Each structure stands twice: as structure tokens, then as C-alpha cells.
Chain A
Amino acid sequence: MRSRDLGGFWAGLFVAGVLLWSLITTDVELSRLLSAGPRIADFFGRMFPPDPTIMDEIWKGSAETLRIAILGTLGAVFFSVPLGILASETMVSAAVHRPVRTVLAFIRAIPLILVAMLMVGAVGLGPLPGIIAVAFHATGMLAKFYAEAIDGVSRAPIAALESAGAGPLLRLRYAIWPQMAPVVARDTIFRFELNLRESLILGIVGAGGIGFYIQTYVRSFQYDKAASVTIAVVIMVIAIEGINVALRRRFA
């Protein structure tokens, strides 16, 4: 057998092993698996009809989610401006931008919901831990985007300002910023959309917003109310998507 065929053989064996391992070690009895279908059907049955009397809660929850996304994005912009500068190769040396980029990659790697849980532990229940978590999590991506926007501009005008005697900050302000502004606007709006979408579920871990109601109603077996909140969330996601498509068209 040639080495390439051998590689395929080992890969097949590995996949088979992984599947076997998951099947054997997961505690799923055949009887439970068989009865899961009817149970899920029953669950959905109890969700209908959705309870329309909780509009107040839905509005309150949605407004809080929106506030978390707005303030979280604001926080992320606040931290991403300096960090984006420190992560760009145009503005700082490799000794600075390499470690900063590594830190940003680590921040991105931590799931938002995990950050939110930690923040609830740190500052207590409510929208504040949600805002902090969104700001932290989004900075990992937004600072990277800002750095790429800085590094993506045309170099000649920067050299021209350098030639005229302008220092790094003046070059950033007058040669780099005018070129990167549309990219920054587009990236920030994109990140805001993600923040809004992701913060819909933050309430599940107690970090504020509409997700709180889903968790409350499911735990107290009020599935018809949970259904109303779920429908509201779906409508919001579709609305965000629509707004985003419209904005993209403007920036294209």
C-alpha cells in the first residue's frame, strides 16, 4: 500500500473509533430514544396556542436586549480603537502588534455565553453583566477588524504626510482615517448586528434581556408563554437580518 492509501485507511479507522466512542459512552437507552419523539410532539403541543397576554414582558425584554447590544457595542468600540491601533502593523512594530493580536485571538475564542456566566458571578444578575460580556467578547473581533482597516489603506498618502513632517497620530488622523472610515462604519454595524443577535439568549444565564423570560417560562412549565417569547425572538432576528441586508446594499 502506498502512503496516501494508508493515510485514508487511518483516517477511516479514526472516524469509526470516534463514532463508536460517542455511541457507547453516552448514556442514552434505546427506550428513551424511542419515546423522545412523542415527548417532543407533546411538548410542542403544549406550546400551542402561544399566550398573547405577555406583550408587556416581551417589550420590556426586547428593549433591554437592545440596550445591552447598544451599550455593549459602544464599549467594544471604546476598547477597539486603541487596541486596533496597537494591533496594526502600519502603526506599531511587530513587538507590539503580535502580542496584542494574540490576546485578541484568545478573547475571540471565549464564547459569549461563558463570559456572561462569569460576569454574572462577578457583578450579579441583570443587564450589567450582559453589557460587560458583549463589550469584552465583541472587542476581540472589532479590534481585529479595525487593525485590518488601518492596514488595508493605500500607503502613498501616508508617505506623503510623513514627507511633510506629520507624526504617527497626524498620519492616522489625516491619511489613514479618511480612507478607513467607511470600512469602520460597515464593520461596526456588522458587529452590532451580531451583538444584538447573540445577546437575545444572554438572559438564560441571568445576564439580562429577553432570554430571561424564555428561561423563566420553560422552568415553570408555562410553555405557551415560552412560545410567544420564542416567536418574538424569531421576528427580531428576521428584522435584524432585513435591516442588515438594506445597510449592506448601501455600503456595497
Chain B
Amino acid sequence: MMQNAIHIDDLSFGHHSAEQRAIDQVSLNIAAGECVALLGPSGAGKTTLLTLLDGRLRDWQGRVSVLGTPFEPTRALPLAKRADTGFIFQEFALVERSTVMRNVLNGRLGRMPGWRALLGNVSKSDMDIARSTLSDCGIADLADRRVDSLSGGQRQRVAIARCLAQEPKLIFADEPVSNLDPSRAADILTLLTSAAQARGATTVFSSHQPELARRFADRIIGMRNGRIVFDVATRDLTDDATAALYDDTDPASGARLKVVS
């Protein structure tokens, strides 16, 4: 049995053009089946960390292994390994001119034989999975609509459906509710976390809303300036720790935050 879905040891990474590291000596273990929230101010490194764990960054230092596969620091993750981790993007990242159904089927591309996928030949089982995730996400009736005709909340459901159709063992969600009103936001996180739980998938989501993190995550990690400043079980998170995470006057990091946000 796999112990850790994610194992990170002394990980550091800097974007090409940036002088400061986006991830600075991070060590972290996340067990299979956990639901973890990543909190932190703008520029803390949340998106960078999730993208790296999704296998899409290279030239980092340290050790990373995801779902038992050790990553290579100099190479992006091979395509064949990608399908097991799903990613929900901050701005949906849907193909606007395609239908909802096509976007959800796109989530299955990594699971189809390449030639068949290229010909647009969708097997019955792929179709069934796409249909059932659409109805799990409450948008079965939108299947034939083009994405550019949808509302923000509907788009977010399509993005989640695409990720779930991929049948990932690990789900990364980058600010999945930042574009939604408070009650929609709670609906979407309920949908995401319960779907992940039903599938036994490990979930890591980033957010700017501590209340939502408390409500939906088992464990909360606070990041700032590329470092982990706290990593606690949800019930152990204090209001002081949350306040300090977003405190602009913190002498250690105040100057940099002003530049970023």
C-alpha cells in the first residue's frame, strides 16, 4: 500500500526571470486520501508548487515523488504519467469554442490510445465516464453547449468535470472558487471534495479564503514567500496564525509583499 501520495524533501525552485525563489526549501508529506488546503498571500508560491507537483516544471532542486513516482529535476514528467494527477486551473483553462462534452472528453485524452483520440473516435466507456461525471457535477443538460456561452459557475463545474473524467488519483485545484460568489464557492468545494472522497482521491487545493479552507480541508498549510510557515490539522489552526500569514506589516516579508500584490 502506498503511504504518501506526495513526498517533497528540501525543494527549491526559481522562475527564470525572477530573482527570488518561488519555492524555498520546502519539505512536505501528504498521505493518500488526505484533503489539504494551501493558504497564502498572492505570490506565496501556491500555483508554482501545484504546477511543479503536476509535473510541468523543471530545473528545480531537491527530491519530489508523486504517487510513488520519483520526479526528475531536469525533465518534465513523461506524458504517460500525467493522467494520474488532475489539475483544476485558476482561470478554468477550457477550450472556449468547443462544447462542454468535448472539453470533458479532453480530460480523457491521456487515457485513450493516441491514434484513436486523434481521429476523434470516442469509445463507449469513455463516453459513459464523461456523461456520468457531467451529471455528478450537475451539468448534464449543458453537454452540447459551447463553453463561451456559460456563466463562471458553470465553467467551473465543467473544469471540475474534465478533471474528474480523467479519473485522477490525485487532484490539484488552484483557487477553484476564486471567481465565484460565496454561496456558489461553497457549492463547488462541496462538489469537488465529496467527488474526490467518493473516488478515494487525494486533494490539494489552494485558496485565499481561510473560512473555506477550514470548512473543507483536513489539514491546512500556510505558505509565504515560497516557504511553509505552518502545517497543521484543521482543528489546530488558530486565528492568530491565519492573521499573521496575511499580515503586510510583518517586518520579515512586508517589503516584498507590497511589490507582489
Contact = CB atoms under 8 A, between A and B. Distances in A.
Interface of A: 154, 156-157, 159-167, 169-170, 173-175, 178-179, 181-182
B93 interface: yes
A14 B244 CA distance: 71
Q: In this complex, which of A157, A165, A169 has the most chain B Cβ atoms within 10 angstroms of its Cβ?
A: A165
A159 B120 CA distance: 20
19 contacts: A154-B96, A156-B91, A160-B93, A160-B162, A162-B82, A163-B85, A163-B86, A164-B106, A164-B109, A165-B80, A165-B82, A165-B110, A165-B111, A166-B79, A166-B109, A167-B114, A169-B118, A174-B95, A178-B98
Given A165-B79, A165-B83, A159 B109 contact: no
Interface string B54-98: 101000000000000000000000011111011101011111111
B114 A170 contact: yes
B169 interface: no
A174 B106 contact: yes
Interface of B: 54, 56, 79-83, 85-87, 89, 91-98, 102, 106-111, 114, 117-118, 120, 162, 166
B114 A159 contact: no
Contacts of A170: 109, 114, 117-118
A163 B94 CA distance: 13
Closest 7 CB pairs of A and B: A165-B110, A165-B82, A156-B93, A166-B109, A165-B83, A160-B93, A163-B87
Given A164-B107, A165-B83, 6 more contacts: A159-B93, A160-B93, A163-B82, A170-B114, A179-B96, A181-B97
Q: In this complex, which of A156, A164, A178 has the most chain B Cβ atoms within 10 angstroms of its Cβ?
A: A164
A161 B118 contact: no
Contacts of A162: 56, 79, 82
Given A161-B106, A163-B54, A174 B98 contact: yes
A55 to B, nearest CB: 46
Contacts of B97: 178-179, 181-182
B106 A166 contact: yes
B83 A164 contact: yes
A167 to B, nearest CB: 6
Nearest to B80: A165
Contacts of B109: 161, 164-166, 170, 174
Contacts of B93: 156-157, 159-160
A168 B118 CA distance: 11
A178 B118 CA distance: 14
Nearest to B114: A167
